[in-house]
Amino acid sequence: MISLMNDMSLKVVKFGGSSLADAGQMKKASDIIKAEAERRYVVPSAPGKRFSDDIKVTDLLYKCYGLAEKGEDFCAVLAEIHNRYKEIISGLGLDFSIDDEIKTIEENFRKRYGSDYAASRGEYLNGKVFAAYLGFKFIDAAEVIFFSEDGSLDLEKTNKSLRNALDGVEYAVIPGFYGCGADGYVRTFSRGGSDVTGSIVAGAVKASIYENWTDVSGFLVADPRIVDDPVTIRTITYTELRELSYMGASVLHEEAIFPVRSAGIPINIRNTNDPSAAGTMIVPDSHEDEMSAYTITGIAGKKNFSAINLHKDRMNSQIGFCRDVLDVLAENGICIEHMPSSIDSMTVIIDSAHMEGKQDDIVTQIRKRVDPDDIYVEEGVALIAVVGKGMCRTRGVAARIFAALAHARINVKMIDQGSSELNVIVGVNEEDFEQAIRCIYDMFVGSSLN
């Protein structure tokens, strides 16, 4: 019998919806799993899109339950969902039926089991089918993943149950995206949450690696909608990834890094349609040695920020000025992003969406509280984060960023470098956003490829 805890090469593999969208994709995923005996625990998503305007099974389930809740006829949508699975089952040549499961789902929809229950059935059914195809044990996530009263994950109970359930089990399928709420009903994570399940399973069993199989060969250095054919990031630390994700880069669910990060388990983002590609390796922060070939690791950015600019003579000697400004923002429930300052002025950068409908009121409150000589709000600011652990050891990184921007005649409105020297944040006008990203990319990556 294989023991769970001391098998250092145990791998947890998660497959996203597009990797399991139809029988052909499932066969590819199965070939990947079977290629390595260490790939022992599989976390599937629900079937995703087969073509660009296809509908994900999860979305069909939400729609179906929406009709059930309104007391309308939902049988046609449920039949459509049933058909997606029937096609997969017959395409895999399986002698397997989910007819009884569909009947139970229909009954539970009538009993109003909730939209989380409804959405979770996509992963549940896909897990059943995939387990049958692989010949692996099926373990219902509702029996091993637990949420607390407040809706957060109950990690202690979850780890214990997962370890118990998997101890001595050589190969298993545990559906992603859901678990059991404190009230005993099924609860889901937020959308894309199968990534989180994979990470939880990997953390619980102390996997040597968490492989996350999707439809791209890893993270790209920049957004491909802005930069033509950007290179793939080979290695990135958890902290760098957090910085880039915060600024809009997305491949992995935001919450997915925490369970593996604390256990020091790397995540490998891989492409089901190109399994020979190495993908991106997300590693613990201690792996400083693996420096990017380009000094920077990635560039990401977001539009739609506002800058509150304040000026007051001798602001520097007025004790509590900044605190008072920040107090007003806090009292209005507003988070701040950055706060560059000079002797007599300060700027607070805020996500414009958080100020919607409150802007005039906030300016009035700040005026009353600190009596500035001048205060004005500038909208349409874009922030760009240039991220890379190699920056702190390399001279001239900032010089290269600003030379690239100056050369492209882009005016820099704000600069912020965190004390970790892991990133430089640049604020520009929204109209300059795309061009700014392109010229920074060219300066660090494009030019070294020529």
- Nearest CA to 249 out of 274, 285, 222, 284 is that of 222
Whichever of 187 and 413 has its CB closer to ligand ASP, that residue is 187
CB 255 within 8 Å of CB 209: no
Q: In whole angstroms, what separates CA 385 from the centre of its chain?
A: 17
Strand locations in 150-199 (E)? 172-173, 178-180, 186-188
Cα separation, 131 vs 125, in Å, equals 10
Tokens 């799993």 sit on residue: 33
Residues 68-97: x where in contact with ligand ASP by CB under 6 A, - otherwise, as a string: ------------------------------
Q: Which stretch binds ligand ASP (CB under 6 A): 29-37, 186-194, 209-217, 228-236?
A: 186-194
177 binds ligand ASP (CB under 6 A): yes
192 binds ligand ASP (CB under 6 A): yes
How many binding residues for ligand ASP (CB under 6 A)? 13
17 binds ligand ASP (CB under 6 A): yes
218 binds ligand ASP (CB under 6 A): no
127 binds ligand ASP (CB under 6 A): no
Q: Please, what is the minimum distance in Å from the beta carbon of residue 180 to ligand ASP?
A: 17
Q: How many CA atoms lie within 13 A of 289 on its CB side?
A: 0
3-state SS class at 186: strand
Binding-site member from 18, 25, 58, 280 for ligand ASP (CB under 6 A) = 58
Q: What is the dihedral of CA 369, 370, 374, 380, to 10 degrees?
A: -60
Binding-site member from 175, 179, 193, 372 for ligand ASP (CB under 6 A) = 193
Task: List, in order, residues 6 or more apart from 250 with CB less than 8 Å away.
Answer: none
Residue 81's H or E segment, with its range, is: helix 75-91
Give the pair of three-digit tokens for residue 138.
Answer: 């099926």
Whichever of 130 and 177 has its CB closer to ligand ASP, that residue is 177
Ranges within 314-373 binding ligand ASP (CB under 6 A) = none
Binding-site member from 11, 39, 40, 56 for ligand ASP (CB under 6 A) = 56
Q: Which stretch binds ligand ASP (CB under 6 A): 191-199, 226-234, 345-353, 368-376?
A: 191-199
Q: Please, what is the minimum distance in Å from the beta carbon of residue 86 to ligand ASP?
A: 19
- Nearest CA to 343 out of 299, 306, 385, 310 is that of 310
Give the pair of three-digit tokens for residue 322.
Answer: 């900044």
388 binds ligand ASP (CB under 6 A): no
Q: Which stretch binds ligand ASP (CB under 6 A): 21-29, 144-152, 189-197, 428-436?
A: 189-197
Binding site for ligand ASP (CB under 6 A): 17, 45-46, 56, 58, 122, 176-177, 191-195
